[in-house]
Amino acid sequence: MLLERPLFFLQVFYKGGIWRIKSMKEKTIYLTFDDGPSKDTTLKILEILDKYNVKATFFCLGDNVVKYPELYKKILDGGHAVGNHTHNHLKGFVTPTKDYLDNIQKAAQVIDSKLFRPPYGRIWPSQLRAVKKLGYKVILWDLITCDYDRNRSPESIKKHIHWLSRRGSIVVFHDSMKASKNMLAVLPWAIEFWINKGYTFKVLS
């Protein structure tokens, strides 16, 4: 299971990836959603974000953009940022680098962004360097909610958000049916928690 906050050695292993946006002046959260767009959850996420006037970054699968172009357009029309999450949600650890890069480029045909997040966070350092050579910023995370884990309760996720949020945290939720129960239960609470703690929200760029 992935840790809610990556250990230091992982950040060294994935040197060149962006885990957090550090700033002494701003108290900012970078809210992100992986795996969409999804016919089950994207509109619900957008409604919640609109309610609180919050902008987020959606790391989309090219295949899902092809399936649901109208939802992808709604993300963009809402003023949110997007990123590339490969076309078919590939695991870098078990995919040859050429195939991995080709899949990213396939997604790039429908996703106009130079932000990239590796699915599962599983990418070899050599692949990370190759992705960067294509001009991408490789975005990882400071806090992953593990909302997709059906053994987790919303309350346990809230506790981790409470204790692990900090300035510049890049936070991962998931835009998927698998994660929807936890994600939709936690997201409004999390936004209100961050607002009450004085955080503002920015998209990645």
Residue positions annotated with a catalytic role: 34, 174
For 154, other C-beta atoms within 10 Å of its C-beta total 17
β-bridge pairing 137-138 and 143-144: unpaired
Task: Please list, residue by residue across 70-106, b when 16 or more beta carbons sit within 10 angstroms of its beta carbon and e when fewer do.
Answer: ebbeebeeeebbbbbbbbebbebeebeeeebbebbeb
Contact 194, 169 (CB under 8 A): no
- State the Cα–Cα distance between residues 64 and 87, nearest whole angstrom: 8
In three-state secondary structure terms, 169 is strand
- Look-up of token digits 């050429």: 98
- Look-up of token digits 């990418």: 123
Who's near 111: CB < 8 A, 6+ residues apart? 60, 62, 65, 82, 83, 84
